[in-house]
Structure 1
Amino acid sequence: MISDKKHIQQLAALLQQKGISDVVISPGSRNGPMIHTFSGSGLFNCRTVVDERSAAYFALGLAQANKKPVVIVCSSGTATLNYAPAVAEAFYLKVPLVVITADRPEYWIDQGENQCINQKGIYSNFVKKEYQLPLGETETELWQAANEINQCLNISLSGQPAPVHINVPLEEPLHQLADIDLPVVIEINEPQNIPAIDADLTQKLVDEINNSKKIVILAGQQNANKELDTLLTAFAKKTGAVVLKEHLSNLNSTQFCGNIDTMMAAILNDKVEDFQADLLISFGGHFVSKSLKQFLRKNKACAHWHLSPANDYYDTYQSLTRVIQADAASFFSHLHSKIFTQESPYFQRWKNKEEEVIGLQNKYVETLPFSDLKVTLELARRIPEYSDLHLGNSTPVRYALLANFNTTIRFYGNRGTSGIDGSLSTAVGFASVSEKLNTVLIGDLSFFYDSNALWNNYVGKNLRIVVINNGGGNIFSLIKGPGESPAFKQYFYAENKYSAAGIAQTFGLDYLCADNETNLNTALNDLYHPGRKKPTILEIFTDAEVNTNTFRGLFNFVKQ
């Protein structure tokens, strides 16, 4: 049984025909026709998540794991606003969500009707296309709607994937059902091919590469890609290019340079111009390292190319000279056979600096007290091979930059907008369809903020949540400014005196804790024991002042 609303039938039919089958529903009445149709047709994998904010982040994680769009469906009013943070994150993280919001008919807008706000254009800054279905169901209106829905769904996947929004005004009655199949609707397809780099441009690029003695390639956040890893390694060896990457780049060649934050600190004591690039090539998403961004903005490359299938004009380093519409693997494959092989003292200069920094860091951590940094380094050593690791924002993602993880680990994080509000929900959605062990490394404020992530029936037994509880927002004592303010403790640090134990009990998760190195060793053995079959929270208590001194001490040690 499905809704008798023809627009809803048609919308569901087109989603099904385009292979979009995962639907995350938040309960409501106004969205009843969509609920009836998606669940009643038997053609969709429907999940229920009550909290709309958490539901949208859950869907984001699900879309990342399945590598295809996920539908989110909510009622009208503030429910639609609660989707906004995750829609913005998906937009900047380039994840396709199909956002379907129920609405009152337009004649009820601003007329004092219940659960009624102006929903047209509500996500306009964070979607590639938006469309409001008509109320009427004439043949012409259904034809027009089918055309627009086709465009929305195609656009969500063309170029760089991104969310789209379909707003659905609905008149009562909302819950009349029909015992029929979904209709057959004409599906409009469009090519997804990215245009090839033409011969003239190819020659210009080859000439510039061959004439550049100091090339830096920035590999931003992306999913793991073995082909790209191989192609980029070969390209770097041939050109002498320096490839800078973070864990979220998911690249593992020993040819590349990590340890970026500590390297930047050490480079400040050298002749900075020796590390300045002639040519900068960037691709992928955001970089975490603020010091790298500052270095590249202050010491600008002569030329900066950004590779983007969607032609995004990302001028992060204020030196952009060319946008190349290509994905990274195609670009490096296309140019590899056409460029010269050349020796590069520039590459060796960077590698020597990295080796020096690693040596200094290893010496520093030998006497490290129990702290966030110590915990992160130990987790990096103990997390099982072939795991997925989800990094929370603020301090966890930054501490992870200082640790060396097994090369089989795959990294994820909400670095599109870098908020703390949905890291756990995203990880729960991802883990719900993953066959791997999924670990979440998250801070205490971020965990409590998003604890509704555990309020659903899809928290997998493969989920391990490591909460570093340092009693508040320790990030603000690590960066310059807030720590020196009289308002620091109450308004920046936001002291937290709560424990995750009660939340674990409420949602039926196992709970472990540690507050020293011995307890941590025991807890990690327990957390990652092969016999553990339940989702588990490990809460680790650290001292904020020790954390601050330890973190700052590392960078002072490297600088000196």
Structure 2
Amino acid sequence: MISTKKHIQQLAAILLAKEIDDVIISPGSRNGPLTHTFAGSNRFNCRNIVDERSAAYFALGLAQAKQKPVVIVCSSGTATLNYAPAIAEAFYLQVPLIVLTADRPDYWIDQAESQCIRQENIYQNFIKKEISLPLGESENELWYAARQINECLNTALCEAPAPVHINIPLEEPLHDLLDEQLSPVKIIETTDTRQLLAESALDELTAVFNKANKVLVLAGQQIPNPGLENQLSELASKTGAVVLKEHLANLDDSNFCGSIDTLMAALLEDRIEDFQPELLISFGGQFVSKSLKQFLRKYKPANHWHLSLAKEHFDTYQALTKVIPLNATDFFGQLLPKVSSQEKSYIQRWKNKEKQVNQLRDTFIGQASYSDLTVFDQLRKAIPENSVIHLGNSSPVRYGLICPPVKNAQYFGNRGTSGIDGPLSTAVGFASETTSINTIILGDLSFFYDSNALWNKYIHSNLRVVVINNRGGNIFGLIKGPGDSPAFQEHFFTENKFKAEGLARAFELDYFKAENATELSQALNNFYSPGQQKAALLEIFTDAEVNTTVFRELFKYVKQ
């Protein structure tokens, strides 16, 4: 049974024709025609999540896991506003969410009608395209709507993928049904093309590359890409270029440098100009490291090339000289055969410094007091190989990047907007589509903020939730400024006296806890045991003041 609304039938048919069949529905009445059609056609993978904010983040994680668009469907009014945080995150992570919002007809806007707000352009800063479907169902109106829907969906996937918004005004009756199948529809497709550098441009870039004695490549956040990893490894071996990456870049090659924050701290005590690049090449998403940004802004390269199919002018380091409209794989594929073999003093300098810093880091952690830092070291040793690891924002992602990565693991994190409001929901959505163990590590405030992530029936046995409970927002004790304020305790740190156990029980997760290193070791053995056949939550208690002291002492130690 599907809705009698012809626009809804047509929309559903176009989605299917483009192989977009995952739909996250939040219940409501105004979106009834959409719900009836998606669920009633029996051709969509429909999931129901009540909380729209959590639903949109769940869809974000699901889209990342499947590497294809996911549809989110909600009712009118403030339900649409609750999608906004996840849409913004998806926009900056370049994840194609298809946002369908039911609406009242425009003649009811601002007329004291229930669940009726101004929904057109509601996400205008965080979407690639928005359309509103017409109310009428004439032949011309259906043709017009089909053309717009095709264009909107094609836009979501071209160049830099991103969310798109289709607003759907609907008149009553909303729940009239037909016992019919969706009719075939005409599809407008876009043809995939591959962009290549013109020979003259390639020669120009090659000349600049070969002239530079110190080349630094910044690999930002991205999904795993083995082909690109091989290219970068060859580039480093052939030319001595340094590849800097964080865990979120999902690059494992030992030729690359990854201990960025501790490296930056150690460089301050060295001849820092020796590490200053002459040529900087960047691609991918954002870096977490603030110290890296400060280093490159102060010690600027003569040339900075940013690779972006969408021609984004990311001048993060205030040194941008060229935007190259290619993805990284195509760019390095063209550049590699052209560049000359060079002496390796620059990469050796970085690798020697990283080896020294890593030895100091490991020595320090081995003798440090029980704290968030030692907890993360225990965690990375306990998490199984070939896992998926989701790093929550604020202090968890920083500690996670200080410690070595888990072998053969994939790393994800909501670093588009870097908020604490949706990491758990995103991880739950991702885990629902995979069989690998998925571990989400987040702080106590982030966990309570996003606890509705567990309020659905798609929590699978492969989910492991790790809550670092330092009883507040410990990130504000680590960064300069807030800790010196009289308002620190109440308005920055925001002391938290609650525990996660009650919520774990309420949502039927197995619960583990640890308050010291011995208890943590025992808990981790059970938490990741093959016999643990149910989703589980591990709450780890640490002391915020000790955490701050240990964190700061680590960076003093590596500076020696």
TM score, norm. by length of structure 1: 0.99
Quick check: 402-411 or 80-89, which moved more? 402-411
What is the aligned partner in structure 2 of residue 371 from structure 1?
371
Provide the C-alpha distance between the structure 2 equivalents of 1:414 and 1:310, rounded to a whole number of angstroms: 21
What is the aligned partner in structure 2 of residue 523 from structure 1?
523
What is the aligned partner in structure 2 of residue 421 from structure 1?
421
Provide the C-alpha distance between the structure 1 equivalents of 2:229 and 2:279, rounded to a whole number of angstroms: 20
Q: Which runs of 4+ in 1 moved over 2 A?
A: none
Provide the C-alpha distance between the structure 1 equivalents of 2:192 and 2:164, rounded to a whole number of angstroms: 17
Quick check: 473-482 or 333-342, which moved more? 333-342
- Structure 1, residues 522-550: CA drift from partner, whole Å, max 9, x if none? 00000000011110000000000000000
Contact 1:265–1:559 at 8 Å: present in 2 too? Answer: yes
Provide the C-alpha distance between the structure 1 equivalents of 2:149 and 2:402, rounded to a whole number of angstroms: 46
What is the aligned partner in structure 1 of residue 242 from structure 2?
242
Question: Shift of the alpha carbon at 1:57?
Answer: 0.1
Three-state SS of the structure 1 residue aligned to 2:135 is coil
Instruction: Give the aligned residue type for 2:254.
Output: T
Provide the C-alpha distance between the structure 1 equivalents of 2:231 and 2:273, rounded to a whole number of angstroms: 29
Quick check: 317-326 or 50-59, which moved more? 317-326
Contact 1:381–1:405 at 8 Å: present in 2 too? Answer: no
What is the aligned partner in structure 2 of residue 452 from structure 1?
452
Query: Does 2:197 correspond to 1:228?
Result: no
Q: CA RMSD in A?
A: 0.7
Instruction: Map residues 65-464 of structure 1 onto 2, 5 A cutoff.
Output: 65-464=65-464
Three-state SS of the structure 1 residue aligned to 2:142 is helix
Three-state SS of the structure 2 residue aligned to 1:401 is helix
Question: Shift of the alpha carbon at 1:378?
Answer: 0.6
TM score, norm. by length of structure 2: 0.99
Quick check: 282-291 or 365-374, which moved more? 365-374
Provide the C-alpha distance between the structure 2 equivalents of 1:237 and 1:327, rounded to a whole number of angstroms: 21
Question: Shift of the alpha carbon at 1:407?
Answer: 2.8
Three-state SS of the structure 1 residue aligned to 2:420 is coil
What is the aligned partner in structure 2 of residue 8 from structure 1?
8
Provide the C-alpha distance between the structure 2 equivalents of 1:366 and 1:68, rounded to a whole number of angstroms: 43
Contact 1:213–1:344 at 8 Å: present in 2 too? Answer: no
Question: Shift of the alpha carbon at 1:196?
Answer: 1.3
Question: Shift of the alpha carbon at 1:271?
Answer: 1.6
Q: Matched residue pairs, number? A: 560
- Structure 1, residues 370-413: CA drift from partner, whole Å, max 9, x if none? 10000001111111011000000001100011111233111000
Quick check: 393-402 or 326-335, which moved more? 326-335
Instruction: Map residues 457-472 of structure 1 onto 2, 5 A cutoff.
Output: 457-472=457-472
Three-state SS of the structure 1 residue aligned to 2:204 is helix
Contact 1:132–1:169 at 8 Å: present in 2 too? Answer: yes
Instruction: Give the aligned residue type for 1:196.
Output: L
Three-state SS of the structure 1 residue aligned to 2:95 is coil
Provide the C-alpha distance between the structure 1 equivalents of 2:57 and 2:511, rounded to a whole number of angstroms: 24
- Structure 1, residues 83-125: CA drift from partner, whole Å, max 9, x if none? 0000000000000000000000000000100000000000000
In structure 1, runs of 5+ residues without a counterpart are none
- Structure 1, residues 54-102: CA drift from partner, whole Å, max 9, x if none? 0000000000000000000000000000000000000000000000000
What is the aligned partner in structure 1 of residue 62 from structure 2?
62
Contact 1:92–1:416 at 8 Å: present in 2 too? Answer: yes
Query: Does 2:496 correspond to 1:496?
Result: yes
Provide the C-alpha distance between the structure 1 equivalents of 2:35 and 2:359, rounded to a whole number of angstroms: 58
Three-state SS of the structure 2 residue aligned to 1:196 is coil
What is the aligned partner in structure 2 of residue 45 from structure 1?
45
In structure 2, runs of 5+ residues without a counterpart are none
Quick check: 443-452 or 306-315, which moved more? 306-315
Instruction: Give the aligned residue type for 1:227.
Output: G
Contact 1:76–1:104 at 8 Å: present in 2 too? Answer: yes
Provide the C-alpha distance between the structure 1 equivalents of 2:531 and 2:60, rounded to a whole number of angstroms: 30
- Structure 1, residues 176-225: CA drift from partner, whole Å, max 9, x if none? 00111112111000123242111111111111111110000000000111
Instruction: Give the aligned residue type for 1:106.
Output: D
Provide the C-alpha distance between the structure 2 equivalents of 1:221 and 1:26, rounded to a whole number of angstroms: 30
